[in-house]
Chain A
Amino acid sequence: MAIREELRDYVLDNYLFTDDQSKLKDDDSFLETGILDSNGVMEVIFFLEDEYGVAVAQEEMVPENLDSISRIVSFVEAKNG
């Protein structure tokens, strides 16, 4: 399964407690929608590290990299070259 789908499923399953794909758009801001809190962001980072071997540095923990499904996918793809 592609990163995008896996990530969507992870967020839907763990933070929205549903498999209804319509509940989460790829560009929904986690910050503005309140889907994730500070702990949720860290859990997503652990998920990225475990599943894709991506090491996320402190300075990379910014909304530009992590605030939506699309942004995370771009970030992970850039990291993995």
Chain B
Amino acid sequence: MDRPSKIKNANLAWAFVTNAHAYLNSDAVVFGSRRITYAELLGNVSQIRNYLAGHEIKKGARVALYLANSPEYIALFYGVLAAGGTVVPLNTGAKSRDIKNWVGHSEANWFFFDARNREARAAIQEVGGNVRCVAIGGSSSEGAGWFDCIDTISAEARPSVDVIEADSRDLAMIIYTSGTTGRPKGVSLSHGNLKSNFTAIIDGLGLSASNRILSVLPFYYSYGNSVLNTHLLTGGCLVLENSMMYPQLIVDKFDQEHITGFYGVPSTYAILLRRTNLKEANFSSFCFMAQAGGPMPPAHISELKQLIGETDFYVMYGQTEASARLTILDARCLSEKLGSIGKAVDGVSIEIRNKEGQPAASGETGELCASGKNIMPGYWRDEALTSSVMVDDWLHTGDLAHTDDEGFLYIDGRASDMIKSGANRISPKEIEEVIAELPDVAEVAAVGVPDELMGEVIRAFVVLAPNAELGQRMIQAYCLKNLASYKVPKQISFIEELPKTQSGKVKRYLLKEY
């Protein structure tokens, strides 16, 4: 048996396997009526690892996963890493053109998808013959030679899994944060990046095997990915719930599943506060709740804190480029430092730099820059983009911030144009690219406009070609065909011309005020 030594092997899957061994009979994952112990999960991980090894996967091969949060996703995630592959998780709301872009750009050798997913079936016809496509949950006769099938991932329980040895610098994941046609942005993260950040989060939040987490955040984002890993690296249990469509069901689960912890983005909590009977929920078993993914209105934090009583509430901040987390506000400081994102997590250095690139004085706004073992080596195969944010091993986040006299950090705004809607960060360029494909469109610009629940919703400003006739619905329908539904503009405004600077750059800040 090719079992690497514990000390040398930096593979994230090895950390999972060695930890899981201590909790073999404990629940690892609950999904609907399915309850899966760590021993069973190890069996499932081993099944995938052996499947890939049997097909002679090469070390470092990119393996795209297009599956919603599920025990199958988790088995694939660790199975791919254990076999020496690099996981490329894809947004399950994405349409086939984005999937094709990402699979092509990452030069993925494998594409695993949910057999029931119609969009995936459209995508596999376009991803190219060099990509081995595997349907999870499909019957073996179905692929008829053009894709493989694994009907179930449900192997016998095992105490361990063979894990290929990895160096801390070997890539574990590529996470795509935008899908623009010309330049998809794939954040490369090594085993060392992820492990150091997960260790810091575990320490910062005091996570342990007693945690029972209701998990609603998608694993294909770095936030959800950190929730998945930090709890499965500490022997906790993840209760998976894939949709916030019926938020009252989420609140009901708190009690039914004896939940002790919950993570959300600001819109998650806005929805729970406004659209459920959260006031009547029982939080007696809760230890903590946490928030990241953009600024949560302090009024919502205060309202929530009143309801959850002694339960700790953590405000966190981070970026995909930093594996996940850069700062945490200690729950004990919440009321005193409301509005702050806290201080750097273990192993991370943060500096606020002014326009001259020098450290800013306390109270002075500058760009938040970070360095540490958790910071990505760069964007996948895009040196120019990498060098635009990485300077001398410091990540320039594009976020504007300041510190107070005690070193607590406060975000003052974003220097970038990204739209933040719910848990999604959306590049306006992606939307503009698609709308500009319509022949009747002369120019287009998309911006985020404030929304009480979602943080921002998308508004597109369209300049039509002379004599063109194009309605709002036709534009939205075209977007829906080519973009994930959360990227479809909620509002379309037709204007005569876009406001621009003398150099021709669109003045987005003016559009936001229209």
For residue B284, CB closer than 8 A to chain A, the reply is no
Annotate B453-485 by CB proximity to A: 1 below 8 A, 0 otherwise. 110000000000000000001101100100001
Q: Is B248 a contact of A30 with CB atoms below 8 Å?
A: no
The CA-CA distance from A39 to B274 in the complex, in Å, is 12
**Interface of A: prevailing SS:** helix
For residue B277, CB closer than 8 A to chain A, the reply is yes
For residue B494, CB closer than 8 A to chain A, the reply is no
- Report the minimum CB–CB distance from A20 to chain B (whole Å): 10
Q: Is B245 a contact of A37 with CB atoms below 8 Å?
A: yes
For residue B247, CB closer than 8 A to chain A, the reply is yes
Residue on B with the closest CB to A40?
B245
Q: Is B276 a contact of A58 with CB atoms below 8 Å?
A: yes
Q: Is A41 a contact of B246 with CB atoms below 8 Å?
A: yes
CB neighbors of A among B467-514 (8 A): 473-474, 476-477, 480, 485-486
- Report the minimum CB–CB distance from A41 to chain B (whole Å): 5
> Contacts A58-B277, A59-B248: A37 and B476 contacting too (C-beta < 8 A)?
no
**Which of chain A's residues have a CB closer than 8 A to the CB of B243?**
31, 38
> Contacts A58-B248, A63-B246: A16 and B486 contacting too (C-beta < 8 A)?
no
Q: Is A38 a contact of B485 with CB atoms below 8 Å?
A: no
Q: Is B245 a contact of A30 with CB atoms below 8 Å?
A: yes
**Residue in contact with A58 in the complex, picked from B275, B454, B476, CB distance below 8 Å:** B275
- Report the minimum CB–CB distance from A43 to chain B (whole Å): 10
For residue B391, CB closer than 8 A to chain A, the reply is no
Q: Is A38 a contact of B244 with CB atoms below 8 Å?
A: yes
Residue on A with the closest CB to B274?
A42
**Residue in contact with A39 in the complex, picked from B246, B249, B454, CB distance below 8 Å:** B454
- A-B pair count, CB < 8 Å, reads 48
Residue on A with the closest CB to B476?
A17
Q: Is B473 a contact of A61 with CB atoms below 8 Å?
A: no
**Interface of B: prevailing SS:** helix
A selection of 22 A-B contacts at a CB cut-off of 8 Å is A16-B477, A17-B473, A17-B477, A17-B480, A30-B245, A31-B243, A34-B93, A34-B485, A37-B244, A37-B486, A38-B246, A38-B271, A39-B453, A41-B245, A58-B248, A58-B275, A59-B248, A61-B246, A61-B275, A62-B248, A62-B249, A63-B249
> Interface on A for B, CB 8 Å cutoff?
13, 16-18, 30-31, 34, 36-39, 41-42, 58-59, 61-63, 66
The CA-CA distance from A36 to B480 in the complex, in Å, is 12
Annotate B211-243 by CB proximity to A: 1 below 8 A, 0 otherwise. 000000000000000000000000000000001
Q: What is the total number of residues of chain B having a CB less than 8 Å from a CB of chain A?
A: 21
**Which of chain A's residues have a CB closer than 8 A to the CB of B277?**
58-59
Q: Is A31 a contact of B473 with CB atoms below 8 Å?
A: no
Q: Is A38 a contact of B477 with CB atoms below 8 Å?
A: no
- Report the minimum CB–CB distance from B116 to chain A (whole Å): 8
**Which of chain A's residues have a CB closer than 8 A to the CB of B486?**
37
Q: Is A18 a contact of B275 with CB atoms below 8 Å?
A: no
**Residue in contact with A42 in the complex, picked from B275, B473, B480, B485, CB distance below 8 Å:** B275
The CA-CA distance from A34 to B196 in the complex, in Å, is 36
The CA-CA distance from A60 to B32 in the complex, in Å, is 20
Q: Is A16 a contact of B454 with CB atoms below 8 Å?
A: no
Residue on A with the closest CB to B481?
A17
**Which of chain B's residues have a CB closer than 8 A to the CB of A62?**
246, 248-249
- Report the minimum CB–CB distance from A8 to chain B (whole Å): 16
**Which of chain A's residues have a CB closer than 8 A to the CB of B276?**
58
Give the residue among B93, B277, B473 with the most A Cβ atoms within 10 A.
B473
CB neighbors of A among B8-62 (8 A): none
Annotate B265-287 by CB proximity to A: 1 below 8 A, 0 otherwise. 00000010001110000000000
- A61-B248, A63-B246 are known contacts; what are 19 more A-B pairs with Cβ within 8 Å? A13-B473, A16-B477, A17-B473, A17-B474, A18-B473, A18-B477, A31-B245, A34-B93, A34-B485, A37-B244, A38-B243, A38-B246, A38-B247, A42-B275, A58-B276, A59-B277, A61-B275, A62-B248, A66-B246
- Report the minimum CB–CB distance from B3 to chain A (whole Å): 42
The CA-CA distance from A50 to B474 in the complex, in Å, is 26
Task: Give me the 7 closest cross-chain CB pairs, A-B, nearest first.
Answer: A17-B477, A17-B476, A38-B244, A38-B245, A17-B473, A58-B277, A41-B245
Q: Is B480 a contact of A16 with CB atoms below 8 Å?
A: yes
The CA-CA distance from A63 to B252 in the complex, in Å, is 14
The CA-CA distance from A70 to B358 in the complex, in Å, is 63
The CA-CA distance from A17 to B476 in the complex, in Å, is 6
